[in-house]
Amino acid sequence: MNSRKPHRLEAARLEKLQKIGDLGLDPWGQRFDGHIPISEARERCPEESGTDGETVRVAGRIMLRNNRGKLKFYHVQDWTGRIQLMVSRGDLSDEQWELVGALDLGDLIGIDGRLRVSQTGEKTIFAEKLTMLCKSLAQPPEKFHGAKDVEMLLRQRSIDLIYNEGVLDRMLRRTRIIHSIRQTLSGEGFVEVETPVLHAVAGGAAARPFTTEHNTLGIELFMRIALELHLKRLMVGGIERVYEIGRVFRNEGIDATHNPEFTMIELYQAYGDYGSMMDLVEKIVVDAAEMLGDGMVLPWGEDQIDFTPPWPRKTYAELFAEHAGCAMDDTDAVTEVARRLEIDTDGVHPDVVVNKVFEETVEDALVGPVFVIDYPASLCPLTKRKADNPEIAERFELFIHGMELANAYTELNDPLLQDELFRTQLDGLDEEDSMAKLDTDFLEALRIGMPPAGGMGIGIDRLVMLLTDSRSIRDVIFFPLLKPESVGGGKSAPSDNDKNTTTETTETNPAG
RNA sequence: GGGGGCGUAGCUCAGUUGGCAGAGCAACGGACUUUUAAUCCGUAGGUCACAGGUUCGAACCCUGUCGCCCUCACCA
């Protein structure tokens, strides 16, 4: 990067960089105190033309320029908004005017000036003093159409944040949602903890893990796929209301709702059950929506989502009967439906077939928010069974527009049954599809005694999607995973080219 | 992984049947003291994603590769 030849557009900016230095000014700027947010400057600006407002100081990036010679207009943006700046030759010293000549789109400047509306009625700061805060060496996108190339925007998210309206706002909403979750949980007496990312056994969920290794220990390790088992061990240790907001990693496909690393919250409440979890997730989501301040009915593309509580609770069995058209315990009928859906049934455990049919017929139809409750127990190795029916597990999943947003259990705290379930492998389930991975440290902890409890996981990225009308998970993650950009298919990496410049040249420039 | 689409100047995009690589914005030089994508005159700017092939001649046709998007499969 350092040795690369400056682009012709960058060269023009480097000249201005030099010019600013020649004026005795620091082109990279210094601490700049006393500025107010641009949104506040707009609020303080008088509405009527001809009325002088107060003198203010702001700082921001030059987004737009309109040059009339000895009178120049700029639009300057900070993270609260934009305001117009008017720079008049007559108002500035010779040195200041020289600086104005060295300004480019994308530069960061500080402005002291008087608030007043322009002749066309736009709120404006009439500049009295400009302070160079940072030179930009990069050419900004086209001023009217902006930057649209999805790949460039994902690889250069800074550009997306600066120049595309709504991107910064959406990402700041994400942080406010997470803040709201912490507030809600703190109010309910939960404490936040951090547990290891590197696991010897990647348990707590059914997913393929990323592998890594520790050099000096000489052992294989896994990136965590869930937070569950460590948090439960903390509950055994007496932390009765505990949660973690953290990154988990799943080595699986990438699409509009899946990124290999994503943010989950898992929380556990001693002496609760899945019913307490339903109340809690409802409160978490409603509080977050309230904090955003756009009401309980939020847009979802052409559609809407109504978050007004309480949300309906429907059993797995009744939803199955409603959408699949037969009772889930009518094995012959279920097999018939499965065949129609081209689901493989040979040698597959009946409950696995039922679940595949459920996923095919029910999940996409769930507009929600709706709690699906009481799952077949065989599918839930970490879940307590219903007291009056050991075939049914006290589990719910929260669905909104076909997306699974939350998954919760009455946690299984019977160490003998847990041990057995970890060792049971349902027919037709691959090992990596199973949660049945033996975590002996966890089992040892359960023997000490874990209080009966409710536990829940919520996909934070998906929650943010639903609350910000974002159709892709890439819209709510600053830096979603992308393949490394290469120079081109046949060409080797740039470093290889550098090493072999002379030979490469002869090979790639055949005579004739 | 399968199928479909896309990749041309810093950015947004044209590019005819295969016949000298185009525009707008941005940049550079000039004019302009109330503009709103300002306007006007002029200048410069290209590894047509990458590598091959066909052809007198390829941005365009063919093959392979890379990346992104959509979709299906898998998953949360």
pLDDT above 70: percentage of residues in chain A:
91
Condensed to tens digits (0 to 9), the pLDDT of residues A33-84 reads: 999 999 999 999 999 988 999 999 999 999 999 999 999 999 999 999 999 9
Give the C-alpha distances (Å, rounded to integers) separating A310 from A290, A313, A458.
Answer: 15, 9, 18
**How many other CB atoms are found less than 10 A from the CB of residue A4?**
8
User: Pick the residue with more confidence: A276 or A354?
Assistant: A276
Spatial separation of the C-alpha atoms in residues A125 and A54, rounded to whole Å: 10
Q: How confident is the model at residue A429 (pLDDT cuts 50, 70, 90)?
A: low
**Closest alpha carbon to C1' of B27, residue:** A9
The pLDDT, as a whole number, for residue A493 is 34
Average pLDDT, chain A: 89
Domain boundaries of chain A, sorted by first residue: 8-140, 163-312+401-409+425-490
The pLDDT, as a whole number, for residue A344 is 77
Rounded distance in angstroms from the CA atom of residue A257 to the C1' atom of nucleotide B24: 37
pLDDT above 90: percentage of residues in chain A:
73
**Domains A8-140 and A163-312+401-409+425-490 in one fold:** no
Condensed to tens digits (0 to 9), the pLDDT of residues A81-108 reads: 999 999 999 999 999 999 999 999 999 9
Q: Give the domain A8-140 fold.
A: OB fold (Dihydrolipoamide Acetyltransferase, E2P) (2.40.50)
Torsion angle in degrees (nearest 10) through CA of A91, A117, A83, A34: 60
Q: How confident is the model at residue A425 (pLDDT cuts 50, 70, 90)?
A: low
A203 backbone dihedrals φ, ψ, rounded to 5° = -115, -175
Radius of gyration over alpha carbons of chain A, in Å? 30
The pLDDT, as a whole number, for residue A327 is 87
**How many other CB atoms are found less than 10 A from the CB of residue A437?**
21
The pLDDT, as a whole number, for residue A433 is 58
Rounded distance in angstroms from the CA atom of residue A4 to the C1' atom of nucleotide B54: 37
The pLDDT, as a whole number, for residue A492 is 33
For residue A352, the one-letter residue type is V
Residue A434 has pLDDT above 90, yes or no: no
Residue A432 has pLDDT above 70, yes or no: no
The pLDDT, as a whole number, for residue A348 is 77
Query: Of A31, A43, A81, whose CA–CA distance to A60 is shortest?
Result: A81
Rounded distance in angstroms from the CA atom of residue A135 to the C1' atom of nucleotide B72: 48
The alpha-helical segments, DSSP class H, found in A120-227 are 150-155, 157-163, 167-187
Q: Choose the most confident range, by mean pLDDT, from A195-199, A441-445, A498-502.
A: A195-199
CATH code, A163-312+401-409+425-490:
3.30.930.10
**Closest alpha carbon to C1' of B45, residue:** A8
CA atoms within 13 A on the CB side of A269: 21
pTM of this structure: 0.90
3-state secondary structure A372-408: EEEEEHHHCCCECEECCEEEEEEEEEEEECCEEEEEE
Condensed to tens digits (0 to 9), the pLDDT of residues A241-259 reads: 999 999 999 998 899 999 9
Query: Of A291, A272, A281, A274, whose CA–CA distance to A460 is shortest?
Result: A281
Spatial separation of the C-alpha atoms in residues A477 and A113, rounded to whole Å: 38
Query: Of A265, A294, A262, whose CA–CA distance to A472 is shortest?
Result: A262
Both tokens assigned to A505? 């040249």
Spatial separation of the C-alpha atoms in residues A436 and A424, rounded to whole Å: 7
The alpha-helical segments, DSSP class H, found in A164-243 are 167-187, 228-236
Q: Which whole number is the average pLDDT over A186-215?
A: 93
Spatial separation of the C-alpha atoms in residues A297 and A366, rounded to whole Å: 17
> Is A186 in contact with A280 (CB distance < 8 Å)?
no
> Does the CA dihedral A181-A184-A185-A191 come out positive or negative?
positive
Spatial separation of the C-alpha atoms in residues A94 and A100, rounded to whole Å: 10
Condensed to tens digits (0 to 9), the pLDDT of residues A335-373 reads: 888 888 878 777 777 888 888 888 888 888 888 799 999
> Is A425 in contact with A228 (CB distance < 8 Å)?
no
Both tokens assigned to A366? 């769930």
Q: Which whole number is the average pLDDT over A287-302?
A: 94
**Closest alpha carbon to C1' of B49, residue:** A488
The pLDDT, as a whole number, for residue A485 is 75
DSSP A420: H
Query: Of A36, A77, A30, whose CA–CA distance to A55 is shortest?
Result: A36
- Chain B nucleotides reached by a protein CB under 7 Å: 1, 10-13, 24-28, 31-39, 44-45, 49-52, 64-76
The pLDDT, as a whole number, for residue A427 is 55
Rounded distance in angstroms from the CA atom of residue A302 to the C1' atom of nucleotide B50: 40
**Closest alpha carbon to C1' of B35, residue:** A66
Residue A206 has pLDDT above 50, yes or no: yes
Q: Which whole number is the average pLDDT over A477-496?
A: 62
The pLDDT, as a whole number, for residue A231 is 96
3 state DSSP class of A93: coil
> Is A252 in contact with A226 (CB distance < 8 Å)?
no
Q: Give the CA angle between residues A222, A227, A233 to the nearest 5°.
A: 105
Condensed to tens digits (0 to 9), the pLDDT of residues A363-403 reads: 888 887 999 999 998 888 889 999 999 999 999 999 998 88
ipTM topping 0.90? yes
For residue A69, the one-letter residue type is G
Q: How confident is the model at residue A4 (pLDDT cuts 50, 70, 90)?
A: low
